[in-house]
């Protein structure tokens, strides 16, 4: 196990000399102090890089100093781990309260809040917005575990179910996509307006992570979020699409295509008599995600081809524009979000970003850690340590700002005081 080095190392040295007789003019030789700062280290089983490491790594040392130990048998194969997590991981029971939000174009999304939090929590409690993966929603185990972990820390949590996902209503002939950031922007603004005293954060998985990182890049300095976490992000959709059609990955491709078709069929009447380049029969019977995107998605959002859609919807190009703290966690053996698609150089050069790559984990798996195999994934404590670190820093900054304002008020009062 690697040793953890924290704080500063102080070394003292005295100049070697024969002490002269004490006279009135003699000045004793000064004590020399050297300060050597050492970065908190991480275990070599993890890849940890990024321009933001000096800001964030120490806050995560409790987990990252330990070796990544995947659960025996389950994690020996990336597909076994991915499938086990999807079908056998526990689903925490949480009472949710649904809010249907109508967005500017007439479409609708569903926001699932934890029931009773509006009474239990203070208006300034930090808020965590969760963005599930493709066709995912508040019913998914990985979402529920993150929700309960944040809830236990006193956070207000809301799940953002995209159009048609998590039984969210579809009210216009348009679903969501990797390219469309309008709904995300409106959800963040809506939540921020409801709780103006709270700091907002977000966590996204898979396609939700891709959308979240693109949103961070688009908003840049004006982003309403105080920090974010990206998990299993495909980053480069062209590369991800290439791998999606190889070997066992075809199983995931067909499963996601069936899920998309199921959502589409529930709302098929909205898409009757669609003209132009739409291929509704292809979308309705899609055998792959690419077929669905060809028949419907890329046309809905104005792209010339599926490749054009994937190329212009990848979040790998957004990293350089991110101006808010961002933690990205990936698995080296992820079958759906290839490691070679990670924009490592841009992450290294951005002082706001940090990347953790685990040697195993599959896609949305990470069957490791204290709660393995049926409990929360290995990533959840890391995510909450990161977000908690950001929130503590934000609170100190807010307190300092309030103190300055109080001093200014007193100064102005003294200035206007008449004697």
Active-site positions?
A: 206, 334, 363
Task: Quickly count: other Cβ atoms within 10 Å of residue 304's Cβ.
Answer: 11
The SS3 assignment for 26 reads coil
| Tokens of residue 129, six digits | 């917005």
The SS3 assignment for 34 reads strand
| Tokens of residue 353, six digits | 């970003």
DSSP state of 44: T
* Distance separating alpha carbons of residues 134 and 300, to the nearest angstrom: 17
Instruction: Tell me if the bond preceding 373 is cis, omega within 30° of 0.
Output: yes
CA dihedral 310, 316, 318, 320 (to 10 degrees): -160
Helix then strand count (H, E) for the chain reads 15, 11
Task: Quickly count: other Cβ atoms within 10 Å of residue 58's Cβ.
Answer: 16
CB-count exposure of residue 347 (10 Å: 0-12, 13-18, 19+): buried
């Amino acid at each position: 196990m690697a040793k953890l080095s924290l704080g500063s190392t102080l070394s003292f040295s005295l100049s070697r000399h024969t002490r002269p007789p004490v006279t009135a003019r003699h000045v004793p030789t000064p004590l020399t102090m050297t300060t050597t700062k050492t970065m908190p280290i991480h275990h070599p089983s993890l890849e940890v890089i990024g321009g933001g490491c000096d800001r964030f790594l120490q806050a995560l040392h409790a987990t990252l100093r330990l070796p990544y130990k995947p659960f025996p048998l389950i994690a020996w194969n990336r597909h076994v781990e991915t499938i086990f997590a999807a079908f056998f991981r526990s689903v925490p029971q949480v009472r949710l309260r649904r809010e249907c939000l109508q967005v500017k174009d007439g479409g609708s999304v569903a926001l699932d809040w934890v029931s009773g939090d509006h009474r239990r929590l203070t208006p300034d409690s930090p808020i965590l917005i969760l963005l599930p993966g493709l066709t995912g929603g508040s019913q998914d185990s990985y979402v529920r575990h993150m929700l309960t972990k944040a809830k236990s820390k006193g956070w207000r949590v809301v799940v953002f179910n995209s159009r048609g996902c998590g039984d969210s209503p579809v009210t216009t002939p348009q679903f969501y996509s990797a390219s469309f950031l309008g709904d995300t922007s409106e959800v963040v603004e809506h939540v921020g307006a409801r709780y103006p005293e709270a700091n907002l954060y977000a966590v996204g998985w898979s396609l939700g992570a891709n959308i979240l990182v693109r949103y961070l890049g688009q908003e840049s300095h004006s982003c309403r979020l105080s920090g974010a976490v990206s998990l299993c992000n495909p980053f480069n959709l062209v590369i991800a699409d290439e791998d999606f059609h190889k070997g066992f990955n075809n199983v995931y491709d067909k499963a996601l295509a069936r899920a998309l078709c199921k959502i589409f069929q529930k709302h098929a009447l909205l898409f009757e008599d669609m003209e132009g380049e739409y291929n509704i029969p292809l979308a309705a019977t899609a055998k792959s995600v690419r077929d669905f995107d060809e028949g419907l998605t890329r046309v809905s959002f104005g792209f010339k081809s599926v490749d054009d859609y994937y190329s212009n919807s990848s979040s790998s190009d957004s990293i350089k524009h991110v101006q808010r703290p961002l933690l990205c966690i990936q698995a080296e053996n992820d079958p759906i979000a290839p490691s070679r698609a990670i924009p490592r150089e841009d992450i290294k050069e951005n002082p706001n970003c940090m990347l953790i790559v685990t040697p195993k984990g599959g896609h949305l798996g990470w069957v490791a850690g204290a709660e393995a195999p049926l409990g929360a994934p290995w990533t959840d404590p890391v995510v909450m340590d990161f977000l908690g670190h950001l929130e503590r820093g934000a609170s100190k900054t807010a307190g300092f700002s309030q103190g300055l304002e109080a001093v200014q008020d007193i100064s102005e009062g003294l200035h206007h005081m008449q004697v």
